[in-house]
Copies of this chain bind each other. A is one copy, B any other.
């Protein structure tokens, strides 16, 4: 009930803290018979892990995953898949100095109000380290989706004022900011490194595209596909907004501009344009699902900031841990994972929509 589970049919539960023994995740609801190896999962974890480039934190975690249950003779058994990722480079020493201070922009204060204590060692459950579990679970979801030819691609669309102008999927993993526009990628990298030099951080926007999603995913009313995707993205640390298709620009459009006409391509009915981002009335239309989410600049900055301690005493704080100057590049695989978990769940629910 602490909010650590996601999904109704493909249920994922994460546990573990940033500076404890490690991060665990249980996937309950994966059908039996899916071939599954450590390598299937490790691939995505490697794109999320720390220390992968000069624009990420220097904490060194190999994020090696162990499969502890739910796989027998190389295939899933239909029962819970337990995964475990040990923490290796947790260093709490830097945090000792600020253990009574609330870090601005962090969850320290709100957690303390909620639970009556402060896990000062890097955020505990609120740490982005927890997302390793989600990415591991997402890798299993993606393997299932792939059987239905559904693929998910994420990339950095914007960092600071720099916006990708070209969307070349082949470029994404070639640069350390995961930008589909080679030229803009360089500007983004410079912008991040410049911020890091100043002890500051920057925000950005990630775009997620799901291809091959059949029409009919999503449920009426509350569990709409867009609503569940909005939750899925917004529950990623640092995210402050989500939009689908034309998103916030819809405010200045007219209906005649915004509506997507239906056309037939051979026997298949589809939309001519995709302003809706692939979702109509909360249910997928068969067009690409297109959504974006914004990540705020990392809260941990190496600059002096005003704050108070647990007794309300005025103080100054400078957060000297090892932090990402921009979380966007590492948020890409997390966004993909959350999209995958949402889509697989709705794909399974779809099986019950008609006789």
Query: A79 vs B119: C-alpha distance in the bound complex, in angstroms?
Result: 11
Q: Is B4 a contact of A307 with CB atoms below 8 Å?
A: no
Mark interface residues in A185-218 (1 if CB within 8 Å of B CB, else 0).
0000000000100001111110000000011111
Query: A203 vs B258: C-alpha distance in the bound complex, in angstroms?
Result: 10
- Chain B neighbourhood of A355, CB < 8 A: 31-34, 147
Copies of this protein in the assembly total: 4
User: What's the nearest-Cβ distance from chain B to residue A158, in Å?
Assistant: 5
Within 108-161 of A, Cβ neighbours of B (below 8 Å) are at 109-111, 113-117, 119, 123-126, 130, 147, 158-161
Q: Which of A33, A222, A227, A264 has the most CB of B within 10 A?
A: A222
A224 (CB) vs chain B CBs: closest residue: B235
Mark interface residues in A280-322 (1 if CB within 8 Å of B CB, else 0).
1111111000000011111111010111100011100000000
Query: A220 vs B114: C-alpha distance in the bound complex, in angstroms?
Result: 10
Number of interface residues of A (CB under 8 A): 154
User: What's the nearest-Cβ distance from chain B to residue A233, in Å?
Assistant: 8
User: What's the nearest-Cβ distance from chain B to residue A222, in Å?
Assistant: 4
Q: Is B231 a contact of A227 with CB atoms below 8 Å?
A: yes
A273 (CB) vs chain B CBs: closest residue: B104
- Chain B neighbourhood of A308, CB < 8 A: 262-264, 269
Query: A218 vs B140: C-alpha distance in the bound complex, in angstroms?
Result: 24
- Chain B neighbourhood of A5, CB < 8 A: 11, 28, 222
- Chain B neighbourhood of A6, CB < 8 A: 222
Mark interface residues in A20-43 (1 if CB within 8 Å of B CB, else 0).
111010101101111000000000
Q: Is A240 a contact of B277 with CB atoms below 8 Å?
A: yes
The answer, yes or no, to whether A13 is at the interface (CB within 8 Å) is: yes
User: What's the nearest-Cβ distance from chain B to residue A297, in Å?
Assistant: 4
Q: Is A267 a contact of B312 with CB atoms below 8 Å?
A: yes
Segment from A54-62, A164-172, A174-182, A248-256 that makes contact with B: A248-256
Q: Is B1 a contact of A352 with CB atoms below 8 Å?
A: yes
Q: Is B241 a contact of A234 with CB atoms below 8 Å?
A: no
Q: Is B72 a contact of A119 with CB atoms below 8 Å?
A: yes
A243 (CB) vs chain B CBs: closest residue: B241
Q: Is A299 a contact of B110 with CB atoms below 8 Å?
A: no
Q: Is A72 a contact of B230 with CB atoms below 8 Å?
A: no
Q: Is B297 a contact of A32 with CB atoms below 8 Å?
A: no
20 new A-B contacts, CB < 8 A, other than A15-B80, A24-B69, are: A1-B29, A2-B221, A15-B28, A73-B117, A77-B117, A78-B114, A79-B124, A105-B280, A109-B262, A113-B216, A195-B255, A202-B254, A203-B250, A204-B251, A226-B235, A230-B231, A241-B242, A241-B250, A261-B306, A269-B308
